[in-house]
Structure 1
Amino acid sequence: MNNKSQEDNLPKLLNHPYLKRMLLFAVAVQFVMTALSFFAHIWLGVLMLILFLITLAIIWQFSNEYNDELNNYILNLSYRIKRGQQEALIKMPMGIILLNDENQIEWINPYMQLQLPSEQQLLGEPIKEVNQNLSDYFENDKREDFNLVEWNEKIYKVSLQKDINALYLLDITEYATATEEYEKTRPVVGWLFLDNYDEITQGLDDRGISGFDSLLTTYFSNWGKQHGIFYKRISDDRYFLLLDREKLDRLEKDKFNIIDNVRDRTSKRNLPLTISIGLSYGEAPFDKLADLAQSNLDLALGRGGDQAIVKAVDEEPRYYGGKTNPMEKRTRVRSRMISQAMQKLMKDSDKIFVMGHKNPDMDSVGSSLGVARIAMMLKKEVYVVIDEDDINKDVAKLIQKIKEYKQLNDNLISSKEAERLINPDDLVVLVDHHKPVLSIAPSLLRKSKRNMVIDHHRRGEEFTENPLLVYIEPYASSTAELITELFEYVSTDGEPINRIEATAMLGGIVVDTNNFSLRTGSRTFDAASYLQSVGANSTMIQRLLKEDPKNYLKRSELIQTLDYVIDGVAIAHGKNDEVYPSVTAAQTADTMLSMSGVEAAFVITRRSEETVGISARSLGKINVQTIMEKMGGGGHLSNAATQIDDRSISEVIEELKEVIHSQLD
């Protein structure tokens, strides 16, 4: 028990009613016995009376002495408590600051004064002028959010007693320093992968491979020593990395320039090597960190390689590098393997549902029709999910053409119809996207246990859960190009691709390459040639993509707002109270790229009353994908976009400018 509780309990013990009754009862009993003694014998009565008086005297004396001692004890205890409070207030290692009603310092305890420079006098000074952090803490209602304050090179944990305007400051500098040191030395686990090592060394003899390996060993050894990184080569194209948070901060500050340095140095030897890195850290066992690092590496490779991805446990990933177009790793052998695997999945499924992304473009619809045709060639029941209330004019024209083909028209169903028809064992094929949130009917992925992905966009962190087959090739110009290559390995027992399907797929390639001017490789022309040979109608594509005069005027209106953020980067924007079609913004960005001095173009328009969209395009020198990812979107190095809710056009412009400066300056 503390002193206060003792002080409270002792008087209660002395004045307790039960004790009083016992004493009175004892006195009454002795008085009765004394009275009865006189009846027995006079001298016995006298003796008992004398004893009775002596007992009363002793009780009286004891009571007085006990009260005196008790009073002295209480007075001494009260003095010691008050003295202890005063000593604690003056000497305890905690700062105390009292403020008046005008938030001026009225008093500070001696301990706090000792923590300040001798020449600094605080009495009478407004707390705001003494320390802004303390002032913010005192005035903010949510003080628990920032109760650590730095002052005179020390860190204090602050609490407030509002009724007397008292601030209490506990010096935790030692603990904060220890915590900071602990954070700096926390382990970081990672994997480094040589993206195209096999392709580079394929044409070298043993001596050339040995020389190339020696070059890599020398460079990685110097890099490891410079940054304090432990590395171990696990296989020909894979390294294990171990470092701490402080070293990781240095690498992030340098934006992982090892990626550019390796590519530049090896390019000078005509052996252009790119690397990808996945790193992880946080509150998790080493095996979990290694798995997370591998997932980050897989994500980097899925985005085309030549980049580093850093992710802590339960945090968003951070991206570095990715400045070059992904190198082509797709081969005819892989296309054949993917085609055969997809056919097996289709044969093992009762029904097949194919769907692209919301507000589908020509590539999304053309790819869906291509996958559906492969399923029909295998004589499987297939449906293409499309929302005719959420399509652009060019796609609407294409849908009208498709309706002229009865079988294809019967395969087109709405998302509600698909939800009614689908079973857990049916196959869902996502084309031209891999994020469930972008799907026309995300609920299909929840109702079916089987799904696969075919896409040409760089992989983002969000991904379809447990896909049975993934075919993502960021090098490809379009998803239609990927699917066109799969036809070569499909049995011809069923009805082959028809004219409208070939036209839609070629239209997808034309739209995504901006008439074969962007992201176009030899395989793109091979795919276009095949589609042309099976009946694709180029004239129909031109008619489908014909621009409405009003849209042309809208584009001109947007271009008039063109403004350069930095050299080579231009922004155009629409009116805040006017909704623009997404295709108008995309076409405007493409048009801006044709202007001299524009390397990257961003067009900001309102897509609905609640949503503002950004269409981003680049000639390849500037990575617009990473810029859009910072704002919640994604896409390609040269073609990306995002949508932002509950913001005005001007607010989005300012945010975009900040991101551009942070990414490119």
Structure 2
Amino acid sequence: MVPVPPALLDFIREGSKFLLAGHKDPDGDCVGSQLALASVLRRMGKEVIPCSAGPFTRTEIKPYASAFIAKPGDTEREGARVIIFDCDSQERTGDLGPFLEGLPTAIVDHHATGKAGDDGSDSPIYLNPEAPATAVLVLELIEALGFSPTVEEAELLFFGLCTDTGFFRHVDERGAETFRYAARLISAGANPKKAYYDIHGGKNLDSRILVGRILSKAQSYYGGKLLLATEALEDTRRYGLEGRDSDSLYQLLQTVAGAEAIVIIRQENPENCTIGFRSRNLVDVAAIAQKFGGGGHKNAAGLSLAGTIEETKSKIIEEFRDIFNENQ
């Protein structure tokens, strides 16, 4: 594990007020990391304001929405330092970004596509692409500050770890350290049964119907190596955003024999699509997402792109052509 940079520890110890920011469209790793460190900083006597542009549409993170503000004002900004989680820049925080400009900033991230530090700034950066989740970096940070996680903090970090590992189904033969982190958090009070239900339970019937609608539109390309499904705006409007369950979709499509990469394109509004990628071992989907301004991990990535499903679809399919031709 990459050690916690001393500059980050100094950044925290010397500050008295912090805006804790995460990427737009947050997931459990982002939210859990922000709130766990927020709790520790408050134990240190710091003033803490968790921030997020949202949206909090995922069932598992909706209960945490009230803990965040979307647009810190002058009062919140005055004298504040910023820590950005689970992404590499203010830009990735979406509409929150302009409110963070000009403030001293540190970054805690585990994405291989991260470009933190490329601008030559001397901001404290805790980056480890080998870490299974930002949550484990926060655990290391908490302990480096001289604390042990409380039960609530352990549950938040375990929630984040489970989110980014697909409840450990993405862990391969190199993942012993991931389970050591899990054991540390369980020893501190995290409940795996509760975490599983928090992530996978609580769905409504319409969300299950929406999964079926999207699956019914799945198409196969490059001899079955690429599977692509779409979510039309009319389906979203009919069945709603509540309980939208991308993880179940990816799980189901990844069980198809021969599939190496999965793409789901959603028409979020008439002008814009969001695109999610998953892969097994062959394809680095983060590299593809990065070409369009997105990012993520080798086997899980995403982006937002202007256009309709049909306009976007052809661009994405073409990006896989050389990859699969090279591996025939």
TM-score w.r.t. the length of structure 1 is 0.44
Which residue does the alignment assign to 2:138? Answer: 483
Instruction: Give the CA deviation at 1:617.
Output: 0.2
Which structure has more relative contact order (CA 8 Å, sep 6+)? It is 2
Instruction: Give the CA deviation at 1:586.
Output: 4.6
Q: Among 363, 368, 378, which residue is 2:29 paired with?
A: 363
Instruction: Give the CA deviation at 1:548.
Output: 3.0
Instruction: Give the CA deviation at 1:354.
Output: 0.8
Which residue does the alignment assign to 2:204? Answer: 548
> What aligned pairs does 1:600-611 form with structure 2 within 5 A after superposition?
600-611=261-272
> What aligned pairs does 1:92-171 form with structure 2 within 5 A after superposition?
none
Instruction: Give the CA deviation at 1:433.
Output: 0.7
CA offset digits 1:376-420 (Å, max 9, x no partner): 3433222211356644221113457xxxxxxxxxxx441334543
Letter in 2 for 1:341: A
Instruction: Give the CA deviation at 1:624.
Output: 1.1
Gap runs ≥5 in structure 2:
none
CA offset digits 1:468-488 (Å, max 9, x no partner): 211111111110022112333
Letter in 2 for 1:420: T
Which residue does the alignment assign to 2:220? Answer: 564
Name which of structure 1's ranges 584-593 and 595-604 shifts more when overlaid on structure 2.
584-593
Which residue does the alignment assign to 2:302? Answer: 641
Letter in 1 for 2:40: I
Which residue does the alignment assign to 1:437? Answer: 91
Cα separation, partners in 2 of 1:419 and 1:511, compared to 1, 3 Å: farther
The percentage of aligned residue pairs carrying the same residue is 22
TM-score w.r.t. the length of structure 2 is 0.86
Secondary structure (helix, strand or coil) at the match of 2:210 reads helix
Which residue does the alignment assign to 2:230? Answer: 573
Q: Distance in 2 between the 1:445 and 1:505 partners? A: 25
Q: Among 268, 288, 297, which residue is 1:627 paired with?
A: 288
Instruction: Give the CA deviation at 1:576.
Output: 4.9
Decide whether the 8 Å contact of 2:38 with 2:50 is kept in 1.
Answer: yes
* Higher relative helix content: 1
Secondary structure (helix, strand or coil) at the match of 2:32 reads helix
Q: Distance in 1 between the 2:275 and 2:112 partners? A: 18
Decide whether the 8 Å contact of 1:435 with 1:463 is kept in 2.
Answer: no
Q: Among 479, 482, 500, which residue is 2:152 paired with?
A: 500
Decide whether the 8 Å contact of 2:295 with 2:302 is kept in 1.
Answer: yes
> What aligned pairs does 1:243-392 form with structure 2 within 5 A after superposition?
330=1, 334-335=2-3, 337-338=4-5, 340-387=6-53, 390-392=56-58
Q: Distance in 1 between the 2:85 and 2:13 partners? A: 19
Decide whether the 8 Å contact of 1:366 with 1:508 is kept in 2.
Answer: yes
Letter in 1 for 2:167: N
Decide whether the 8 Å contact of 1:624 with 1:637 is kept in 2.
Answer: yes
Which residue does the alignment assign to 1:660? Answer: 320
RMSD between superposed Cα atoms in Å? 2.5
In terms of Rg, which structure is larger?
1
Letter in 1 for 2:282: K
Decide whether the 8 Å contact of 1:590 with 1:617 is kept in 2.
Answer: no
Which residue does the alignment assign to 1:421? Answer: 76
Decide whether the 8 Å contact of 1:570 with 1:598 is kept in 2.
Answer: yes
Secondary structure (helix, strand or coil) at the match of 1:621 reads coil
Cα separation, partners in 2 of 1:644 and 1:363, compared to 1, 3 Å: same
Q: Distance in 1 between the 2:266 and 2:65 partners? A: 26
Instruction: Give the CA deviation at 1:370.
Output: 2.4
- 1:456 aligned onto 2:122: no
Q: Among 148, 165, 168, which residue is 1:513 paired with?
A: 165
Secondary structure (helix, strand or coil) at the match of 1:503 reads helix
Secondary structure (helix, strand or coil) at the match of 1:571 reads strand
- 1:584 aligned onto 2:245: yes
Q: Distance in 2 between the 1:571 and 1:641 partners? A: 14
